[in-house]
Structures are given as structure tokens and as C-alpha cells.
Amino acid sequence: MKRFFTLTAALLVAVVVIAGCDTRQRDWEEARQADSLSAYQEFLEQYPDGEHTEAARQRIVEIREQDAWETARDRDTIEAYQTFVDDYPDSTHAAQAISRISELERAESWSRLQGSREASELEAFVRRYPDSTEADLARERIDQLDAELQAEARAREEAEARAREETEAAQAAELAATGGARVQLAAFRSEDQARSAAQQIEARHESLLEGIRIEILPPDQSSSFFRLRTSLLAADAARNLCTSLKDQGQDCLVISG
């Protein structure tokens, strides 16, 4: 009889163990089917140790990582992707997050620069992102700025030239009205000879001729020579200039008007 009770007790224990195993397996299958954070957490609360416990913990980590990745993609900001990379540096999505961070940083940088007039800033952008679409736009902007600067420089030069011409014309008119004079420096058979001589005279007597233009007068009815004469000067200034030039070995002649 005692042996009977012992066998009965052993059978009951076995039945309980089998029943428990069946319940754990059934709960595990239900958790897997639900495949949610709450389902796996509930399974771990009921079965903190034993079969399927590690698998449940791993799946919780995977679900949290996926949720974090989807949140980062929904927000689509540098800060959101950086948070994901910081939290999950070994994730399969980490490289994609880093790439998207670079794209967003490039877009923000270009948004600030596309209207810039600082070529150095645009050139720095091109160096940082040489193969991007925005880099091509930056190069176009640099070329545009260069063209604008050249046009502005030409406009300034033309304006300065006009101002000089107007000033010289006004001075010439004033000198002519008050009896101005020119200094004739030389005369030549050809224009080339005259131009070459003008350059030599200007270089040789640079200090005396500062601010004074040497003009080449073509032949006319009174002469068959190309004559070198200064721009119109006050009569006294023309005489003084000619005297100083002669002192330095340059022949000259003062011509009225």
C-alpha cells in the first residue's frame, strides 16, 4: 500500500510539471503571436527564469530599438537621429542614421549659404561636400559672384575714368580761357617711333611728369610729323616744366594753347 501511495505521488508531481510546462509554452506562444512590448514583459513577470526568458528579454530590446528608429524617422531631425545613434550605436540602423544626419546638416548649411555673397563661405561648403548637388549650385553661385564683382570693378573704373576726363576737360577749358600752354617734347616720322619715345620720356622724367599726360598729335596741314606734347598746362607751369626738362637733357618747346 505504501508503495502505491509513493507511485501516485510521483505521478501527480509529473502531471503538475507537465501541466506547468504546457502552460509556459502556451503563454510563450501567445506572447510571440502578440509580439508586443507588453506581451513579452507580462511573460517575464510570470516566468522570470527558465525556458524562453532570454528570448523574451532579447525581443524586448529589439522592439525598443525599432520603436526608437521609427520615432527618429518620423521626427527626421538631426537631434532625433543623434539620440538614436547614442542609444543604439551597434544597431543595423546606425549607419543609416549617421548618413541622414550628414544629409540634414548639409541641407541646413546650404539653406544658410545659398543667398550669401561671401565666396569664401561657399568655397568652404564645396570643399566639405564636393560631390553633392548643392556643391554644384555653390560653384554656380561663386561664378555669379565673380562675374558681379568684375562688373562692379569695371563700372567703378569707367566711372573713375569719366570723372578724370570731365575734370581734365574742365581744367583744359579753364586753362585755355586763361592762356594755357603745352610743352612739345619731340617729333617723329612714324607713330610707332612716337609711342616708343613717349614711354621712354615718361620713364626717364617720371618725377617731373607726374600727373601730366603725354599726347601724340598726328600730322596735320602744318606738319608731317607725329608730335609729342603734354596735356594743357598753365603758361607758367609749362615754362617751368620745359626749363626743368632741359636741365635733365630733354629738348622741349612751349606751345601756346
pLDDT in tens, 128-161: 999 988 999 999 999 999 999 999 999 999 999 9
Secondary structure (3-state) at 243: helix
Tell me the whole-structure pTM to 2 decimals.
0.51
Q: What is the distance, to the nearest Å, from the Cα of residue 241 to the centroid of all Cα atoms in its chain?
A: 55
Sheet of 253-256, strands arranged across: 214-217, 226-230, 181-188, 253-256
219 contacts 225 by C-beta, under 8 angstroms: yes
Other Cβ atoms within 10 Å of 245 Cβ, number: 20
Work out the pLDDT band at 1, boundaries 50, 70, 90.
low
Q: Write out pLDDT tens, residues 7-21.
A: 544 444 444 444 446
| Bridge pairing between strands 226-230 and 214-217 | antiparallel
From residue 136, alpha-carbon distances to 144, 146, 147, 249 in Å are 12, 15, 17, 62
Residue 87's contacts (CB-CB under 8 Å, 6 or more residues apart) are: 68
Report the alpha-carbon distance of residue 198 to residue 187 in Å, rounded: 10
Largest CA distance in the chain: 161
Q: Say what the pLDDT of residue 9 is.
A: 44
96 contacts 68 by C-beta, under 8 angstroms: no
Q: Write out pLDDT tens, residues 93-109.
A: 999 999 999 999 999 99
Q: Say what the pLDDT of residue 32 is.
A: 93
Report the alpha-carbon distance of residue 213 to residue 193 in Å, rounded: 18
Report the alpha-carbon distance of residue 17 to residue 176 in Å, rounded: 128
Q: Say what the pLDDT of residue 14 is.
A: 41
Report the alpha-carbon distance of residue 179 to residue 173 in Å, rounded: 10
Strand partners, 226: 188
From residue 139, alpha-carbon distances to 114, 124, 129, 177 in Å are 11, 11, 11, 57
